[in-house]
Every structure is written in structure tokens, then in C-alpha cells.
Chains A and B, each alone.
Chain A
């Protein structure tokens, strides 16, 4: 809905300010489509809009740890030119600078340092966490306040999803014996990704769930959960797959071991690609308006944008479901009883 209004407003601004050749998209401003990739990437500042020459931004903390200098704190605005709001090597602070591609470097290239900045995506995550905690704790409070009654309000919205994750994902994939142990994790995973995907669809929101670092983290958690819960049967299937001729074992066993990694890796890549690609498609349709600067393209793009946005809402849900489902499936194979086969 918000993006729809944004699209409409962009369309109107082009229509009314058609004379202005200086209309440019948000982003680096170097070309009319240059905002595309930086938009789906992480950033040290949170840029909302550029109105005339005024940049509406939220400067974010830059936190750097280096073995020689310890923890250092800066603000992203420290690294910018105050007039143009551009990052660059010329605006370094404390021996660090952020380049035009939003990468943090040390002026002394040989220094090692670790970047723990509260970036745009980290801020996004804090917002998602706040939404999640609010939603779920108010749901839980309903049950505490009115035990044994039918769900009302937020609880009536959350409860069916909780039941779905518990019964359709955890129970069917993991089985009766172990599913209760993993249900809280799967619920957290599902809602975290889902809310992250949906919040990420807002204009100028950070693309957290479409960031490879975030999906990698979740994928590693899935890997850890699978490997640490693997029972005897699970490892036996990897190192001594039943029914495989001995001659094939030197081929099958490495493949199986590799499979331990590729399974979560597929999750990492799938979520990253699905969400990032969706954002790029949406941004591309916006970019078309600026490239062609024509009313017809503007109308057509806007119609397409609304359509793509609906698809993205669907994708947001499907991807959260798929990630949770496959995590449950991997955990399910790890804890499965032997007689199941």
C-alpha cells in the first residue's frame, strides 16, 4: 500500500515537474539506474529521501574493532561531506574512510580491523525484533489474561500461524517424539523471516532478509541444529549408507558429507536470491520511469509495480515457509528413528 502511494507520488511528480531534467533517483545519483544495487545492499547510513539539496538521513553508529586500537565508535555522518552527503576517501576519520561503494577501509591498507557497525540492516533487524516481541508477547498475554478463551485481536491472527508451524511444519517433518523440542526455534525462524520480508518491502526499508550475511547466519544455525542433533542413524546414513555397494562408497560418502553443507547452503542462497531479486524487479520498474521520463511508461510501470508488490508479499510468505520447512526437514532427518526407513 505504502509503495503504491510512493509510486503514485513519483508518477505525479514526474507529470507535474516534467520540465525538470534534474529529476534523479535516490542513490548515488551518478546515473538513473545507479541506485539499484546499492538499494538492495547494506549501508552505513539510512537514507530516506532527498528533497532538493536536503538529505533526509539517519546517521548510524560505525563500530570498529582492531587489535591495535581496540573498539572505536564513529557516526556514519563523520565519514561524509557535509554539503553533498557523499562518502569518499577524502572524508576519512580516525584512520578509516567509507568509499563510494559503501565499503569501509582503513587508510593504512595493511591494518586489520573488524567492522561491527550498526548498519541500516542491523537497524532494520532491531525494528523487526521490536515488532516481533510486541506481536508475540501481546499474543502470549492474551492467553495469560483470558485462559481457555477463544483468541481475540492479535492472538486470533497469530494463533493459526503458530498452529500451522507446529502441526504442518514441525510435527509432519520432525515427528511426534521430538517436534516439541524444535517448535520454538521453528516459530522464531518463521516469524523472523516473514516479518523481515514484509517490513523489507516498505520503501527505503533495509533489505535484511535479502542480505547474504543474514541468510548465511540462519543457514549456519540450521547446520548447527542438524549436526548437533544428528543421531546414530543419521550418521550411519552418511558414512555407511545402507544398500550402497562397497565399491561406490568412496564416491557416495564424500557426496553425503558435502550434502551436510549444501543443504543449508541452498537455504542461504534461496532466501537471499528470492528477496533480493524481488527488490531489484521492483526497483527496476521504478528506474524505468526515470529512464524513459514518459507518462505512458510511468502508468504502465506503476501498474506493474502494484502487481509485483502483491507477488512480493506472496514470496515473502512462501520464502519464510520454505526456509522453516526445510530446516524442519533437515532436523527431522537428523533425529529420525531408524525404523522409519
Chain B
């Protein structure tokens, strides 16, 4: 076997040895190692992906929260607005009602006064009648001798009559 002439024996043993090593290592080393590496890379990939998803979800959640808070604020504002409007309206209504009530009362009072007044006038009329009768009676009782005395008496009597 020379330096640059390949010996058949070594070619044979190299081929045999290499093929055996190739078979054994492929079966017992490379396949499990490569499978484990693939699996680990997959796990890392998955972890990175799920972290990304979680981050996105976080962001979504935050946005959602902000949205809810915003909506709540708007709702609160509208409610406050409505409440104040309602209050105003109520006050307004109360005022109106009060005015109406007042007017009614005045009306009633006026009517009462009117009634009382007419009643009083009726009363006066009756009184005047009674008085007139009394005067007439007195006059009748007296002597209608003197006109002047009669006149004087009438005047005195009329003076006594108080129309209220």
C-alpha cells in the first residue's frame, strides 16, 4: 500500500465502517437529536406566538376597558343632563301650577266677594225696604201736618241709613 495508491482492504473496511456508523448514528443519535431539536424549536416558536397573542389580548382588553369607561362617562353625563333638565322642568311646572292655582284662588275670591257684595246689596235693599217701611210707619204715626217737619224727618231718617 503506497502513499497515493489506495489499498483495497482499507477501502473495504472504511466503507463498511462508515456505513455501519451511518446506520447506527442515524437510528440511535441523529433521529432522536434532530427530533428533540425540532420539538424544542417548536415549543419556543409556540411560546413566542402565545406571548404575542397574550400581548394582543392585553392590548384589546385595555382598549375595551377604555371604551367601557368612556361609554360610562358619556352615559353619566347624559344622565346628569337629563336629571337637571327634568329638575328644571319640574320647577317650571311647579311654578306654572302655582301661578294657575293663585289665579284660580284670586278668581274664587273675586267671585266670593262678588257674591258677598250682591248678598250685601240684597241685604241693604231688604234693610232699605225695612227702614223705608219703618220710616213710613213713623211718618204715618206722626202727623203729616207740616210738610217741613216731614221733610226734615225724612232727611234725618235717610241720614241715619248707612249703606254699609
Q: Enumerate chain A interface residues (CB-CB to B < 8 A).
A: 37, 40-42, 63, 102-104, 114-119, 121-122, 125-126, 129, 132-133, 136-137, 139-140, 143-144, 147-148, 158-159, 162-163, 166, 180, 183-185, 187-188, 191-192, 208, 211-214, 216-218, 220-221, 272, 276
Contacts and interface: CB of A to CB of B under 8 A. Distances in A.
B20 A159 contact: no
Contacts of B22: 184-185, 188
Given A37-B3, A140-B28, A125 B17 contact: yes
Interface in B38-60: 39-40, 43
A140 B7 CA distance: 35
B37 interface: yes
Contacts of A126: 17
A184 B33 CA distance: 10
A88 B24 CA distance: 40
B46 to A, nearest CB: 12
A41 B3 CA distance: 6
A136 B25 contact: yes
A103 B7 CA distance: 10
- Which label, helix, strand, loop or mixed, suits the secondary structure of the B interface? helix
B91 interface: no
A166 B40 contact: no
B37 A147 contact: no
B100 interface: no
Given A40-B3, A133-B21, A276-B3, A213 B30 contact: no
Contacts of B29: 133, 136-137, 139-140
A162 B21 contact: no
A272 to B, nearest CB: 8
A118 B25 contact: no
Contact of A187 (B2, B15, B30): B30
B36 A143 contact: yes
A218 B18 contact: yes
Interface string B94-122: 00000000000000000000000000000
Contacts of A166: 34, 37
B35 to A, nearest CB: 8
Given A41-B3, A143-B33, A184-B31, A125 B25 contact: no
A24 B6 CA distance: 30
Given A41-B1, A221-B18, A121 B10 contact: yes
Nearest to B32: A140
Given A42-B7, A121-B10, A212-B3, 13 more contacts: A41-B1, A103-B2, A125-B17, A132-B25, A148-B36, A183-B30, A184-B34, A188-B30, A211-B6, A212-B4, A213-B11, A217-B18, A218-B14
B21 to A, nearest CB: 5
A42 B3 CA distance: 8
17 contacts: A37-B3, A41-B3, A42-B7, A116-B12, A125-B13, A136-B29, A143-B33, A144-B32, A148-B43, A184-B22, A184-B34, A188-B25, A188-B30, A208-B14, A212-B3, A216-B11, A276-B3
A118 B32 CA distance: 32
Contacts of B43: 148
A114 B8 contact: yes
Contact of A211 (B10, B12, B31): B10
B10 A213 contact: yes
A220 B17 CA distance: 14
Contacts of A41: 1-3
Nearest to B12: A116
Contact of A159 (B6, B14, B33): B33
Contacts of B9: 63, 114-117, 119, 122, 213
Contacts of A40: 3
A129 B33 contact: no
Given A40-B3, A129-B21, A276-B3, A184 B26 contact: yes
